[in-house]
Amino acid sequence: QVQLVESGGGLVQAGESLRLSCAASVRTFSIYTMAWYRKTPEKEREFVASSGGVLFKTDYADSVKGRFTISRDNERNTLFLQMNSLKPEDTAVYYCAARSPRSAVFDYWGQGTQVTVSS
What residues contact 82, with CB distance under 8 A and at least 6 apart?
A: 17, 19, 68, 69, 70, 71
**Whole-number pLDDT of residue 119:** 94
Burial class (CB in 10 A: 0-12, 13-18, 19+), 61: middle
Say if residue 19's pLDDT is above 90: yes
pLDDT tens digits, 63-87:
999 999 999 999 999 999 999 999 9
Position 15 scores a pLDDT of: 98
Instruction: Determine the pLDDT at residue 62.
Output: 98
DSSP state letter for 89: G
Residue 52: in which H helix or E strand, if any? strand 46-52
Mean pLDDT confidence for 36-56:
93
The identity of residue 7, as a single letter, is: S
* Mean pLDDT (the chain, rounded): 96
Give pLDDT, residue 27.
Answer: 87
Inter-residue contact 48 to 36 (CB < 8 Å): yes
Summarize the confidence of residues 102-107 as an average pLDDT.
93
Task: Give the C-alpha separation, 113 to 11, whole Å.
Answer: 11
